[in-house]
């Protein structure tokens, strides 16, 4: 018997491989899907089915890729959508995998056609519920994908769906499609594993006391990255297989420089590396920040060139591929070392620690122009910087003209990483006097620097 959860770092995505005897099923596979083939073959099993809980918005589902490798049948959820592949497993229908049974139940709310799948053991006992994006550890799925006009309707549907899920025994494993850090929930808890009983006891979203209060608490619009729309479209028609796509190639500085004329340059190094020296015109998004912020700032319709250090190259390419970025043309061999050795010019962005600014404000000075790119909840939790101007990082392209070009701009976030992303975006648009504050608000609070009073 086989029960494995596969965690995809970055997007906090969980997929599952379940098998018995010589058969296996994969629930919500990722695009780079060799991991399921290798694990099942190691156990002497063949993947017979691929199940999707819903049409995913935040990553490219790997069903078509995995089916091509294994011949498995694809069973998806949303019957009201026109899929280009697979077929529907209707509510109440079951499939068998060895001695195990899996039953589909309709759990709309996150999307109209979402399904969950109940796993039964050899004796018919309930072992687990694969809940997709309906119910998470400590949270529930977002309900805003149908728009503001249908928020209350979708939250009401989700409430009813959750009642189906939590109607199972306390000891039943709950297996959602995401963990902490995913954009598909509001505040997913960092629990390694969870059960129906634990969620009844610990999940604050299940303690609102009735449908009306649940709807009132969950019917809200959240950030909607532009790449979600692309994921929705591609997960309907089926994405081209990775094996059919050209691999990003290593480029010499000369090749890289020539290709950069018509491309976007993504620098996936840390804020210190980028601030010290970068290829002119680059966008800074550190490697582990790409799943959260790449979809806000990177296009699908232009080639992307990559600057990254060592092992970060392949990790960055993997992150981008999971988000459907098949337009990664190549990467700079040996990163900035080769660029400089070839005699090419680079640019930098000033970085400073917070001490001097802290003393200046502590002494009553209002001279500094401070840009804070944190989110509203972060500011409420961590404190507001005195005399600061708040523009969330994802709103900056639309609101950049609120930032002065004739003053030195000090940029804050939680640590300095997003600040460098913001600085790179502004610099590409002509801003020059930019200062990234290293350590961000974390450093500021560590030194007990002044905060704006409520």
- Catalytically active residues, by annotation: 413
> For residue 435, what are the β-bridge partners?
350, 410
The token duo for 250 is 């290593």
Pairing of strands 328-332, 249-251: parallel
Q: What are phi and psi of 428, to 5 degrees?
A: -65, -25
Q: Do residues 375 and 392 touch, judged by C-beta distance below 8 A? A: yes
With vertex at residue 422, the alpha carbon angle to CA 371 and CA 274, rounded to the nearest 5 degrees, is 125
What SS3 state is found at 158? helix
For residue 87, what is the enclosing H or E element? strand 87-88
Distance between the two ends of the chain, CA-based, in angstroms? 58
The token duo for 421 is 């992303």
Closest C-alpha among 255, 355, 341 to residue 306 = 255
Pairing of strands 100-106, 409-412: unpaired
The token duo for 78 is 């949303």
Interacting residues of 41 by C-beta distance below 8 A, sequence separation 6+: none
CA–CA separation, 304 and 370 (whole Å): 31
What SS3 state is found at 289? helix
Q: Do residues 411 and 419 touch, judged by C-beta distance below 8 A? A: yes
């Amino acid at each position: 018997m086989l029960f494995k959860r596969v965690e995809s770092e970055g997007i906090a995505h969980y997929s599952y491989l379940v098998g018995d005897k010589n058969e296996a099923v994969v629930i919500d596979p990722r695009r780079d899907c060799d991991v399921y083939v290798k694990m099942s073959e190691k156990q002497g099993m063949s993947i017979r089915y691929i199940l999707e809980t819903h049409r995913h918005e935040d990553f490219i589902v790997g069903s078509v890729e995995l089916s091509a490798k294994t011949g498995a049948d694809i069973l998806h959820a949303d019957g009201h959508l026109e899929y280009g592949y697979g077929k529907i497993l209707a509510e109440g229908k079951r499939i068998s995998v060895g001695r195990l049974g899996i039953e589909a139940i309709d759990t709309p709310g996150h999307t109209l056609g979402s399904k969950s799948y109940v796993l039964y053991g050899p004796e018919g006992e309930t072992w687990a519920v694969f809940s997709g994006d309906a119910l998470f550890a400590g949270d529930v799925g977002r309900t805003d994908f149908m728009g503001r006009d249908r928020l209350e309707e979708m939250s009401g549907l989700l409430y009813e769906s959750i009642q189906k899920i939590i109607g199972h025994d306390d000891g039943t494993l709950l297996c959602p499609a995401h963990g902490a850090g995913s954009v598909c929930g509001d505040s997913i808890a960092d629990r390694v594993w969870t059960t129906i009983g634990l969620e009844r006891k610990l999940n604050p979203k299940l303690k609102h006391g009735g449908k009306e209060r649940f709807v009132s608490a969950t019917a809200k619009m959240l950030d909607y990255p532009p790449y979600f729309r692309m994921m929705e479209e591609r997960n309907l028609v089926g994405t081209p297989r990775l094996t059919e796509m050209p691999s990003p190639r290593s480029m010499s500085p000369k090749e890289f420089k020539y290709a950069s004329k018509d491309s976007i340059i993504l620098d996936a190094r840390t804020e210190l590396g980028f601030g010290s020296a970068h290829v002119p015109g680059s966008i800074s998004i550190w490697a582990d920040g790409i799943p959260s912020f790449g979809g806000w700032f990177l296009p699908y319709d232009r080639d992307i060139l990559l600057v990254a250090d060592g092992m970060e190259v392949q990790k960055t390419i993997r992150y981008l591929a999971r988000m459907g970025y098949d337009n990664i043309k190549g990467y700079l061999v040996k990163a900035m070392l080769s660029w400089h050795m070839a005699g090419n010019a680079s640019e930098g962005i000033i970085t400073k620690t917070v001490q001097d600014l802290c003393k200046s404000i502590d002494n009553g000075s209002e001279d500094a122009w401070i840009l804070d790119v944190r989110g509203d909840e972060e500011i409420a939790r961590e404190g507001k910087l005195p005399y600061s101007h708040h523009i969330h990082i994802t709103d900056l392209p639309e609101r950049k003209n609120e930032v002065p070009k004739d003053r030195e701009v000090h940029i804050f976030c939680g640590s300095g990483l997003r600040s460098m992303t913001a600085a790179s975006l502004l610099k590409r648009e002509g801003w020059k006097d930019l200062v990234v504050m290293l350590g961000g608000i974390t450093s500021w609070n560590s030194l007990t620097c002044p905060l704006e009073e409520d």
